[in-house]
Structure 1
Amino acid sequence: MKNLKFGSKIVFIINSLVAFLLLVSYVLPYIPPKSFATLSVLSLSVPLLILLNVIFFIYWLLRVKKQLILSLVVLLLGWNYISSMYKFSSSKNIEDADNISVMSFNVRLFNKFEWLPSKTVKEEIINLIKSEQPDLLCLQEYRTGDPIVLDGYYNYNAFPVDRTVKWGQAIYSKFPIVNSGSLEFPNTYNNGIFVDIVKQKDTIRLYTLHLQSSGIQTDVENLKKETSGNLFKQVGSTFKRQQDQVELFLEHKSKSPHKAIVTGDFNNTAYSYIYKEIKGDDLVDAFEEAGNGFGKTYDFKFFPLRIDFILAHKDFAVNGFKTFEDRLSDHYPIKAILKLH
């Protein structure tokens, strides 16, 4: 570093800080938010930290400086993080008569409060579903008081405990539903629901979860009004509540004898304790198995956020995955193609 000019020394100091933060983030999936809530918030910035380290690596590479080693080593140590953020391979698309298509989408109340200028959002969502014809469809922030009708589907939807809330979640299935229920998260409008569906001789448990949201508006103008201290406090508190919700979910899932598919809006990233606990040792991430590109599922202006997931039991082969670009909500729909071995 002593051979660097003053400006380059400043750049390397910033580079070192960014590399250190990314390195610290590698341990976040193993730290419960209840133990260290403030640190767990760092998981949201992992995509940005990865991109910054890539930029620093390219910067030093173009200048032919050995300082490139710092970001290179940190990036290589977290290669799984990079592959979770961006898939360099093209999407799989394996046709098989035994495939099951699973679609998940946070529909944001079908644009009830006109966040989007279009007046036909609900109709466009229905048209998308009819076009894709998923075998299993999971919808979060579904308006239970204004249901959608889909021919050829069984369906189950559930309100949260508070019956004054007219939204919840819904599952539609082309296969018979033989069991269903709701996971009631305490002191919140969020919840999880499940169904057991029968495909030929197999019974499959399908969950869709809508975990606690921070309630922070993510557009630039609203973020400017928030102090960093308030952001950390609010997001940290949210992650603690998510931990409680995940613990309830895992207890429920442990009592099921069936192989599971877990979908939903986790309101957290693939670099978090929350995601690691839900995924466990028995589920695989359909995007990581068969997706491509960034896999962005949330409309956040600064960097690609993937907070909506389709996880399937490891006995499922993932034969395809798609992230849709249709802007019909603040989330983007996702669909996985699965085959049970």
Structure 2
Amino acid sequence: MSNMPGKKRIGLISRIIWLLNVILAVALLAAYLSSYVDPGTSTIFAFLGLGYLFLMVTNLLFMLYWLIRGRKKLLLSLLVLLIGYQPFVHHLQILPGREVPSEGTTKLLSFNVQNMAHSNLGVEETEIRSDIYNFIGSQQADISCIQEFADRSNDFKGVFKEMRTLTHYDYCYYNNYRPQNKNRIYALVILSQFPAINTNTLALPGEQHQFGLYADMVLQGDTVRVYNLHLASIRLRHEDYQFVEDISKGQTEKGEFRRGSSNILRKLHSAYKIRSRQTAVVERSLSDCPYPVIICGDFNDTPLSYCYHRISDGLNDAFVKAGHGLGNTFSGKLPPIRIDFILYSGDFNAYEFKVHRIDLSDHYPVSVFLSNN
């Protein structure tokens, strides 16, 4: 009889763990739906999708716990994890990528350069600019898609001529995010060794902010449309990153937590809504495109997101096909997430997708080799 209180405590703890298991298993199932529910309608599933890695790991731990306990309850998390096998391979690739053929390939690079002034480092902008140019030039990619290129100058022709020269490219195509701003350069850029036969931009109807640039060019004998996309940012500021860092260290008070979390949730909600509309514009452009496509860019969203699911529909993901290891591309003060992508039509094969873990921006550059089928 003296052991009954202890047994009751163990039973109570077991029931609490099971309840948490059920809640987090349902949450993971709901997170899977973030690929299919338009955040323009509801952002609840989008928020859950953002927590996919946490939910996946906790369900894995629950499964191991029940396995050790010898309970059939492990089947709940096991089933939910098996349902989510496809999202998992978009975050981690175990098998090594294929070896690059000696000829007949086109190398692509995508890089968000964070205004050419890595604010997290406190290094002079000129030094960062030089390092970024040196990195891009050293990669010898046939096409480089650059997001968030910035320069205080209004000498557009001179700045981009210098960029093309220092990175060793024959052609440079660019467009300011806000074309009406002639006093400062803040642009999407496509650097290429091939001439474009046509270029154009993508913007939301009735708005001047342009979030996409594409160029039609001949690659390996075929005309291909190369997109450079930069979907709506969450626009987190220094105080937001500091708040996230303080949480990880357990240094936030109740009032600060409420204000900080509310501010970030509001920004996420707004960005999800904008990206939903931008996704529709990209889909229309893709459906009207008569050529095979390659999409490079910063989606500011994860592989489980609605925008990724819609834009990548019918396309291949270079990381999934030719990557190895973790695919996270954001290097800032957030949990590891993959938000930079290279997608391509089935007309190509991919080799040696690489995340370049260099500290020049809050994004890691990504690259891949493509060849015609």
TM-score normalized with structure 2 length: 0.84
Counterpart of 1:209 in structure 2 is 229
Cα displacement (A) at 1:37: 2.1
Counterpart of 1:167 in structure 2 is 186
Q: How does 1:138-157 map to 2 (within 5 A)?
A: 138-143=145-150, 145=153, 146-147=159-160, 148-149=163-164, 150-157=167-174
Cα displacement (A) at 1:234: 2.8
Q: Please give the alpha-carbon distance, in whole angstroms, between the structure 1 residues aligned to 2:197 and 2:88.
A: 40
2:133 corresponds to 1:116: no
Letter paired with 2:351: N
Q: Report if the CA contact (8 A) 1:38-1:233 is conserved.
A: no
Q: Please give the alpha-carbon distance, in whole angstroms, between the structure 1 residues aligned to 2:244 and 2:149.
A: 25
Deviates more, 1:163-172 or 1:309-318: 163-172
Q: Please give the alpha-carbon distance, in whole angstroms, between the structure 1 residues aligned to 2:197 and 2:28.
A: 46
Letter paired with 1:27: L
Deviates more, 1:322-331 or 1:223-232: 223-232
Q: Please give the alpha-carbon distance, in whole angstroms, between the structure 2 residues aligned to 1:130 and 1:165.
A: 24
**RMSD, aligned CA:** 2.2
Deviates more, 1:222-231 or 1:255-264: 222-231
Cα displacement (A) at 1:190: 5.1
Q: Report if the CA contact (8 A) 1:286-1:336 is conserved.
A: yes
Q: Report if the CA contact (8 A) 2:113-2:146 is conserved.
A: yes
Counterpart of 1:237 in structure 2 is 270
Q: Please give the alpha-carbon distance, in whole angstroms, between the structure 2 residues aligned to 1:70 and 1:165.
A: 55
Q: Please give the alpha-carbon distance, in whole angstroms, between the structure 2 residues aligned to 1:110 and 1:321.
A: 24
Cα displacement (A) at 1:69: 1.7
Counterpart of 1:86 in structure 2 is 92
Deviates more, 1:300-309 or 1:316-325: 300-309
Cα displacement (A) at 1:84: 1.0
Cα displacement (A) at 1:251: 1.7
Q: Report if the CA contact (8 A) 1:37-1:237 is conserved.
A: no
2:368 corresponds, among 326, 336, 339, to 336
2:22 corresponds to 1:16: yes
Q: Report if the CA contact (8 A) 1:135-1:174 is conserved.
A: yes
1:66 corresponds, among 72, 92, 100, to 72
Counterpart of 1:305 in structure 2 is 337
Q: How does 1:17-36 map to 2 (within 5 A)?
A: 17-36=23-42
Q: Please give the alpha-carbon distance, in whole angstroms, between the structure 2 residues aligned to 1:200 and 1:57.
A: 49
Q: Report if the CA contact (8 A) 1:169-1:192 is conserved.
A: yes
Cα displacement (A) at 1:187: 4.5
Letter paired with 1:21: A
Cα displacement (A) at 1:271: 0.5
Cα displacement (A) at 1:329: 0.6
Cα displacement (A) at 1:3: 11
Q: Please give the alpha-carbon distance, in whole angstroms, between the structure 2 residues aligned to 1:302 and 1:176.
A: 38
Q: Please give the alpha-carbon distance, in whole angstroms, between the structure 2 residues aligned to 1:189 and 1:336.
A: 29
Letter paired with 2:147: Q
Q: Please give the alpha-carbon distance, in whole angstroms, between the structure 1 residues aligned to 2:261 and 2:148.
A: 28
Q: Please give the alpha-carbon distance, in whole angstroms, between the structure 1 residues aligned to 2:21 and 2:85.
A: 18
Secondary structure at 1:143's aligned position in 2? strand
Q: What is the total number of aligned residue pairs between the two structures?
A: 338
Q: Report if the CA contact (8 A) 1:140-1:169 is conserved.
A: yes
Q: Please give the alpha-carbon distance, in whole angstroms, between the structure 2 residues aligned to 1:100 and 1:167.
A: 27
Counterpart of 2:12 in structure 1 is 6
Q: Please give the alpha-carbon distance, in whole angstroms, between the structure 1 residues aligned to 2:13 and 2:294.
A: 52
Q: Report if the CA contact (8 A) 1:38-1:236 is conserved.
A: no
Secondary structure at 2:191's aligned position in 1? strand
**Residue segments in structure 1 that go unaligned for 5+ positions in a row:** none
Q: Report if the CA contact (8 A) 1:48-1:303 is conserved.
A: no
Q: Please give the alpha-carbon distance, in whole angstroms, between the structure 2 residues aligned to 1:222 and 1:165.
A: 31
Cα displacement (A) at 1:306: 0.4
Q: Report if the CA contact (8 A) 1:160-1:184 is conserved.
A: no
Cα displacement (A) at 1:133: 0.5
Q: Please give the alpha-carbon distance, in whole angstroms, between the structure 2 residues aligned to 1:45 and 1:28.
A: 11
1:230-266 Cα distance to aligned partner (Å, 9 max, x none) = 4333312211111111211222232221110011000
Q: Report if the CA contact (8 A) 1:22-1:49 is conserved.
A: yes
Q: Please give the alpha-carbon distance, in whole angstroms, between the structure 2 residues aligned to 1:197 and 1:94.
A: 22
**Residue segments in structure 2 that go unaligned for 5+ positions in a row:** 1-7, 154-158, 248-255
Q: Report if the CA contact (8 A) 1:28-1:43 is conserved.
A: yes
> Which of the two has higher C-alpha Rg?
2
Q: Report if the CA contact (8 A) 1:137-1:172 is conserved.
A: yes
Q: Please give the alpha-carbon distance, in whole angstroms, between the structure 2 residues aligned to 1:123 and 1:19.
A: 48
Counterpart of 1:272 in structure 2 is 305
Distance 1:143 1:228, change over 3 A: closer
Q: Please give the alpha-carbon distance, in whole angstroms, between the structure 2 residues aligned to 1:88 and 1:214.
A: 31
